[in-house]
């Protein structure tokens, strides 16, 4: 199993944020990140 040390993975991350490029090892991690970090950006972009 891979370990996360900061933003350095000892195995290839499978889920990368298309907005900022942060990488997550689970889809759930990416979904939580997107909802928290980019929900306001997404709303502003749609206006």
Q: What residue segments make up the domains of the chain, in order of their start?
A: 4-46
Whole-model pTM? Answer: 0.58
Pairing outcome for strands 8-9 and 15-16: unpaired
Q: Between 24 and 12, whose confidence is greater? A: 24
Which of 4, 46, 43 minimizes the C-alpha distance to 15? 4
Work out the pLDDT band at 40, boundaries 50, 70, 90. confident
pLDDT confidence of residue 11: 67
Q: Which helix (H) or strand (E) holds 9?
A: strand 8-9
Work out the pLDDT band at 3, boundaries 50, 70, 90. low
């Amino acid at each position: 199993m891979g370990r996360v040390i900061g933003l350095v993975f000892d195995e290839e991350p499978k889920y990368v944020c298309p907005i900022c490029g942060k990488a997550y090892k689970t889809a759930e991690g990416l979904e939580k990140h997107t909802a928290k970090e980019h929900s306001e950006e997404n709303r502003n972009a749609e206006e």
